[in-house]
Amino acid sequence: MKKILIPIVAVSALAAATVPAVASAQSVNQRQDQLERRIDMGVRNHSLTRSEAARLRSDLRQTARLEAQYRRGGLSGWERADLDRRFDRISAKIRVERHDRDYGYGYGDRDRDHRGPDRRW
């Protein structure tokens, strides 16, 4: 009986250990995709300038590199929390930049205000 029970327990323990890792990877990827979509939407509706979008995308790439580094050794609870904090910070930056009234009209990297592209600086 013990000979049968030990492999069953081992297999179920292994399966339980891999499920959170897979769910965690999906969650991180979904969060990253959502932030990328928000940046793209901001560029499309001109609530983000190209330079703002470039900085935000750079922050997102840096966090993605850090995630890859964390995953090499297995994603611990602290590392997962660190990634969540970083994604929260990027999300807040996106929100601030989209509502700061710097409208991206596509005229170089000069930020324009709400009065339009013909306003003289």
Confidence of residue 22 (pLDDT cuts 50, 70, 90): very low
What is the model's pTM? 0.64
Which are the contacts of 59, defined by CB distance < 8 A and separation ≥ 6?
A: 89, 90, 93
DSSP 45: T
Report the interhelical angle of 2-44 vs 77-98 (nearest 10°). 10
How high is the pLDDT of residue 100? Answer: 83
**CA distances in angstroms from 93 to 52, 56, 97, listed in the order given:** 10, 8, 6
Distance CA 66, CA 59 (A): 11
Asked if 24 and 84 touch (Cβ cutoff 8 Å), the reply is no
Asked if 95 and 88 touch (Cβ cutoff 8 Å), the reply is no
**CA distances in angstroms from 32 to 9, 14, 28, 50, 113, listed in the order given:** 35, 28, 6, 19, 29
> Average pLDDT over the chain, rounded to whole?
78
Confidence of residue 45 (pLDDT cuts 50, 70, 90): very high
* Whether the predicted pLDDT of 60 surpasses 90: yes
How high is the pLDDT of residue 19? Answer: 40
**Per-residue pLDDT tens digits for 74-107:** 889 999 999 999 999 999 999 999 988 776 555 4
How high is the pLDDT of residue 28? Answer: 83
